[in-house]
Amino acid sequence: MLANLPYYVAAWLFLCGLYGIVRSRHLVHTVISLTVLQSSTYVLLLAIGFRKGGYAPIFADIAPGVITVDPVVQALMLTDVVVEVTVVALLLAMVVKAFEKGGTTRPDDLRFMRG
Amino acid sequence: MTEKRRLLLFFAGAIGVASVYCAGIRNMPPFGHYRGPYGDVIARLAVYERHTTDTVNAITYDYRGFDTLGEEFILFSAVTGVMLLLRPETQERRRRETEGENPESFRDRAALSETVQVFTTGMFGFAVLFGIYIGTHGQLTPGGGFQGGVIIAAAPMLLYVAENTDAFRRILSHPLMEFFEALGAAGYAVVGLVALAFSAPFLTNVLPLGKTGDVFSSGTIAVISACVGVEVGAGFMLVTYEYLREILSREKNTED
Amino acid sequence: MLSPALLVAIPLIAAALLGGLRKLLPRLLTDVLALLTALFNLVLASLWTLHALHRTQVYWFGGWYPRGHMALGIGFVMDVAGCGLATLTAFLATLALLFSFRYTDSGGDHYHPLMLVFLAAMSGFALTGDLFNLFVFFELMSTAAFALCGLKTQEPSPLAGAFNFAVTNTVAAFMMLTGIALLYSTTGALNLAQLGLLLAGRHDRLVLAAFAFLMTGFLVKAATVPFHFWLPDAHAVAPTSVCVLFSGVMVPMGLFGAMRVYATIFQGCFAGTHVSWIFIAFGSLSALWGGIMCFAEHHLKRLLAFSTVSHTGLMLLAFGLWTKTAMAGLLLYLVGHALVKAGLFFCAGILLHRFRSVSEPWLFGKGRALRRTRILWILGGFGLAAAPGFALAIGESYISAGAGWTEWIFLAVGALTGGAVLRAGLRIFFGLGDAGPTDESAKVDEAPETLKESHQINWFLWTPALACIAGSIALTFWPEYTNAVHSAAIRFMDFGSYAHAVYQQFTPASMVRAAAIPGKDWLLAGVHAFLALGLALWAVYRRRIPRALRWPSHIEGPLRPFRALQSGYPGDYVAWLTVGSAALGAAAFWLGH
């Protein structure tokens, strides 16, 4: 089991993120918990691509054909990181607006959408 | 729902999700033994096919370039969303003017040392240069448009740290910023369209590939990387400006 | 034939153009450019749909054709189902942009770029043949949707709705990415066809876990119970033209994503098992829960939102049945529902524009002067109830052809949702009966979205509603369309031809001669309509019924705690998401092992 530790770390981060959102008492905290959830997927992806003894897939100073780690997951993750920052910015803008309009950042006080 | 009930519900669900996740992990290939052929095939081919040494960027901007187009527009939409949400309303502005400013809250801290100011302002130029370097060398070394754009966007923050808020505000609120963001975003799609003009599928790498290891190599990868860099940089600067707009306008009023 | 990449590229370029030049372009020009782009998409998508009827073609981006069995790049698989959905998206987007012509508050001209990005994202989502590309378009669709919900947040209440929507759907996206990562670890592939070939026959724990995570992600977008809580909140926040796209295409897209992934990747894995029963269970639950909640609502847009939950649940149920006729019925139902729902939302938008409110009790009797809207609304109500003459009725007859027990669920859903809409229509447009409850739930209302109140309903406000309702009726009487959808469904479920298309560039299609609809189903559809109208009249004249006969109103008390679950608190929604995901995973492991 210890051999697959990074995957279990990813699972743990995932659950922590979910717990943070459920338990949150401050809207900014909710958004940051989403970031934690995000990190869990990155850990999972990068851990999947890792190869023991593999070099970085940059062939500037190594010859093509040398064993490298997986470049595909890195490519998947790379754009995701930058993009998700802006999505978090969007969510935080909602929080800023909520504070401006409602004077509060407690999710409890935003229950305007009661069924 | 009370907090206790919510937590109980969550824990019931979390146990389930955790078991599913861990059951899945147990059947995964062990850590450190990447099996799949996709990454290996591209790692072996990218240098020859695209004359690029950075395989990750070859995947990002060429093999899976269409994905990155979508991601770039996620950034575009999010920035537009932030501008939409934090847009100034006429009533808001009037309220702020009538209530008057409180200059004390921004000036009751100790003056910043001149060494810090000079050094940080000097670093601005270096940061911009570094960002441009990272952005244009994506096809050779780790880097590329996304990373370069973020560094360039972070450069004005140095001015803010150096308390040169006037320059900071003037850079961020420049009217051409939105135009550059749109240019970067559209540029990527237009490069894809250029391929259509050559009767090749969308986003095919139709520019001359050059010599591996040169800055001007790997065809459209460099061009797309530059477009993305412009878009990311402008996008982040717009977001920063929207967030700090109110504070900046107060600083401006106290200075006048 | 123009490249299908243009279906995504042109709206994106137009969005960037409108966004960059927004301070320079006058409103009229922005509106016209956006409309022209949507029309371009509509024409191109329709051409591709007609092309796809003859052969399923695959378009590889960047010229990266597959090498052997390995797909190096990203491909668009232009089959009838995908192209048809892209056409539907473009059609509704055109009408939505027409509806918001000139008067809708564009939030400083950020509305048009976001709508075009939304259009591009949904078109790409329907067509793509790559799993990670599906995820990217899912995210793009979601981000544009979150941003569009920011239009009316100058009032305090809508922010909760937008925030809940954003948090819930982002959690769903990350669940999807986790599933993708799990599949990638064992196969090293991201192409749907390749994954299907590599995973054929495997139903070990990894595949089941990936299945659970992927399906959770898609079903959150498809607003299946218990993942549905974000939908009514989002609908109450978004402007009308955006709601049209949400209920008409975005939510069904979530379901389509689940269907696409199941039909390509998991079909071979779960061939001998009963995993599709999971969809039947979740679908029935959504259908009934959505229907009950719909009837209990008095805010017009939230009412329609719950009916979307219900109808999408029916579609999920049909998908779980996994037969060719059920799939054909599903696709027919999807299109029919999209048109009727869009028409109803446009009518609600007219009410909002004219009276600055969408609260049923407040609008009591006020709609008497709006004759066109009245007719369209009542027709829409009958349409939701799957009355004879509407596309939903045909869909239902196909779905229940193989499984008669589903008829009862259809009957209940049609009565509840159609009845709710008819009840609102009788109250607002005819002033019949009483004004409805005056409790706290009736006080929930919505901010107006147009720049000024107008007593004139311009042509571009009621034409979209007319086009939608007329379309949903016209499609019933067009046998070539029904045949085409039937063959599209058969093709959709056939993984062999899909894989062949992906690796050999195209497969010729075959048209299917579908059997004519048996006569008894018109009678059944008539029963639906009658029941819906009856329920509406009962609700409206409830006070006048003797107390002894009024027994169904005793459910209002017990119903209150269930309605309170729609609390507006993101922690609640994510807790339910976790529970639902766990239930889905447990069911998958139990049924699929």
Residue where the block lists tokens 């976790």 = C578
Q: How far is C405 from chain A (nearest CA, A)?
A: 31
Chain C residues 5-64 with CB within 8 Å of chain B: 5-6, 8-9, 12-13, 15-17, 19-23, 59-64
Tell me whether C234 touches chain A (CB under 8 Å).
Answer: no
- Distance between CA atoms of B248 and B234, rounded to whole angstroms? 18
Band of the pLDDT at C108, cuts 50, 70, 90?
A: confident
Contact call for A45 and C181, based on CB within 8 A: yes
Contact call for C13 and B186, based on CB within 8 A: yes
Burial class for A104, CB neighbours closer than 10 Å (0-12, 13-18, 19+): middle
Residue C341: which of C267, C243, C262 has the closest Cα?
A: C243
Which chains have 3+ CB pairs within 8 A of A?
Answer: B, C
Chain C interface, best mutation among B2, B5, B64, by max C CB count within 10 A: B64
Percent of chain C with pLDDT over 70: 90
AA letter at C290: G
Interface size A-C, in CB pairs within 8 Å, comes to 133
Percent of chain B with pLDDT over 70: 88
Residue C146: which of C238, C61, C248, C272 has the closest Cα?
A: C238
Contact C95, C467 (CB under 8 A): yes
Mean pLDDT of C170-178: 95
B32: left (phi over 0), alpha (psi -120 to 50) or beta: left
Stretch among C107-121, C242-256, C279-293, C419-433 having the lowest mean pLDDT: C419-433
For residue C224, pLDDT beyond 90? yes
- Distance between CA atoms of B184 and C16, rounded to whole angstroms? 9
Mind listing the pLDDT tens digit for each residue in C361-407? 888 888 888 888 888 898 988 888 888 878 888 888 888 877 788 88
Contact call for B71 and A80, based on CB within 8 A: yes
Please state, in angstroms and as integers, the Cα–Cα distance from residue A30 to each residue in A21, C140, C417, following that order. 5, 21, 34
Residue spans of the domains in chain C: they are 155-273+551-593
Residue where the block lists tokens 């100073």 = A61
Contact call for B78 and A90, based on CB within 8 A: yes
Residues 6+ apart with CB under 8 A from B116: B161, B162
For residue C107, pLDDT beyond 80? no
- Distance between CA atoms of B126 and A29, rounded to whole angstroms? 35
Tell me whether B64 touches chain A (CB under 8 Å).
Answer: yes
Contact call for C170 and A34, based on CB within 8 A: yes
- Distance between CA atoms of A18 and B165, rounded to whole angstroms? 39
Tell me whether C186 touches chain A (CB under 8 Å).
Answer: no
For residue C55, pLDDT beyond 70? yes
For residue B153, pLDDT beyond 60? yes
Q: How far is A9 from chain C (nearest CA, A)?
A: 13
pLDDT for the residue numbered B219:
82
Chain A residues with CB under 8 Å of C571 CB are 21-24, 30, 107
pLDDT for the residue numbered C546:
67
pLDDT for the residue numbered C482:
86
Contact call for A94 and C161, based on CB within 8 A: no
Chain A residues with CB under 8 Å of B146 CB are 78-79, 82
ipTM value for the complex: 0.94
Mind listing the pLDDT tens digit for each residue in B91-148? 555 455 555 444 444 444 567 788 888 888 889 999 999 999 999 888 888 888 999 9
Q: Rounded to the nearest 5°, which phi and psi values hold at C510?
A: -130, 135
Chain C residues 439-468 with CB within 8 Å of chain A: 440-441, 444
SS3 of residue C136 by DSSP: helix
Contact call for A114 and C564, based on CB within 8 A: yes
Selecting from A50, A60, A64 the residue whose C-beta is nearest the C-beta of B32 gives A50
Burial class for C317, CB neighbours closer than 10 Å (0-12, 13-18, 19+): buried
pLDDT for the residue numbered C219:
96
> Cis omega before residue B30 (within 30°)?
no
Count the neighbouring beta carbons within 10 Å of the beta carbon of residue C299. Answer: 25
Contact call for A48 and C143, based on CB within 8 A: no
pLDDT for the residue numbered B102:
45
Please provide the DSSP assignment of chain B as one string: --HHHHHHHHHHHHHHHHHHHHHHHHTSPPTTB---HHHHHHHHHHHHHH--SBHHHHIIIIITHHHHHHHHHHHHHHHHHHHHHTPPPHHHHHHHHHH---THHHH-SPPPPHHHHHHHHHHHHHHHHHHHHHHHTTTTSS--HHHHHHHHHHHHHHHHHTT-HHHHHHHHT-THHHHHHHHHHHHHHHHHHHHHHTTS-TT---S----TTSSS-STHHHHHHHHHHHHHHHHHHHHHHHHHHHHHHHHHHHH-
Contact C468, C93 (CB under 8 A): no
pLDDT for the residue numbered B106:
46
Residues 6+ apart with CB under 8 A from B3: none
Bridge partner list, C57: C78, C506
Tell me whether C213 touches chain B (CB under 8 Å).
Answer: yes
Q: How far is C59 from chain A (nearest CA, A)?
A: 21
- Distance between CA atoms of A6 and A43, rounded to whole angstroms? 7
Q: How far is C85 from chain B (nearest CA, A)?
A: 19
pLDDT for the residue numbered A113:
44
Contact call for A87 and C150, based on CB within 8 A: no
pLDDT for the residue numbered A59:
86
Residue C321: which of C266, C400, C385 has the closest Cα?
A: C400
Nearest CA in chain C to A76: C132
Residue spans of the domains in chain B: they are 53-255
Residue where the block lists tokens 């407040």 = C362
- Distance between CA atoms of C95 and B182, rounded to whole angstroms? 26
For residue C519, pLDDT beyond 50? no
pLDDT for the residue numbered B113:
83
Contact call for C178 and A14, based on CB within 8 A: yes
Mind listing the pLDDT tens digit for each residue in B39-71? 888 888 888 888 888 889 999 999 999 999 999
Q: How far is A32 from chain C (nearest CA, A)?
A: 11
For chain C, the 3-state helix, strand and coil shares in percent, each to the nearest 5, are: 75, 5, 25
Q: How far is C233 from chain A (nearest CA, A)?
A: 6
Nearest CA in chain A to B75: A83
Mean pLDDT of C155-166: 81
Contact call for C163 and A24, based on CB within 8 A: no
Strand order across the beta sheet in which C75-78 lies: C75-78, C55-60, C506-508
Please provide the DSSP assignment of C451-512 as one string: SS--S---HHHHHHHHHHHHHHHHGGG-HHHHHHHHHHHHHHH-HHHHHHHHHHSEEE----
Mind listing the pLDDT tens digit for each residue in B67-91? 999 999 999 999 999 998 888 775 5
When the pLDDT of each residue in chain C is averaged and rounded to a whole number, the result is 86
- Distance between CA atoms of C71 and C74, rounded to whole angstroms? 8
pLDDT for the residue numbered B24:
92
More confident residue, C100 or B252: C100
pLDDT for the residue numbered B107:
46
Contact call for B56 and A74, based on CB within 8 A: yes
Contact call for C171 and A37, based on CB within 8 A: yes
When the pLDDT of each residue in chain B is averaged and rounded to a whole number, the result is 84
- Distance between CA atoms of C20 and C16, rounded to whole angstroms? 6
Give the pTM.
0.93
Mind listing the pLDDT tens digit for each residue in B236-249? 999 998 888 877 76
Chain B residues with CB under 8 Å of A19 CB are 10, 14
Residues 6+ apart with CB under 8 A from C588: B20, C208, C211, C212, C215, C275, C278
Contact C108, C163 (CB under 8 A): no
Contact call for C566 and A22, based on CB within 8 A: no
SS3 of residue C62 by DSSP: helix
Q: Contacts by A107-110 with C-beta closer than 8 Å and gap 24+?
A: A107/A24, A107/A25, A107/A26, A107/A27, A107/A30, A107/C569, A107/C570, A107/C571, A108/A25, A108/C569, A110/A27, A110/C159, A110/C160, A110/C163, A110/C568, A110/C569
For residue A111, pLDDT beyond 70? no
Chain A residues with CB under 8 Å of C182 CB are 44
How does DSSP classify residue C588?
Answer: H
Chain A interface, best mutation among C159, C178, C302, by max A CB count within 10 A: C159
For residue B155, pLDDT beyond 50? yes
Chain A residues with CB under 8 Å of C565 CB are 115
AA letter at B199: S
pLDDT for the residue numbered B253:
62
Contact call for A113 and C574, based on CB within 8 A: no
Going along chain A from its start, the domains and CATH numbers come out as 2-113 (1.10.287.3510)
More confident residue, B136 or C568: B136
For residue C514, pLDDT beyond 60? no
Mean pLDDT of B204-209: 83
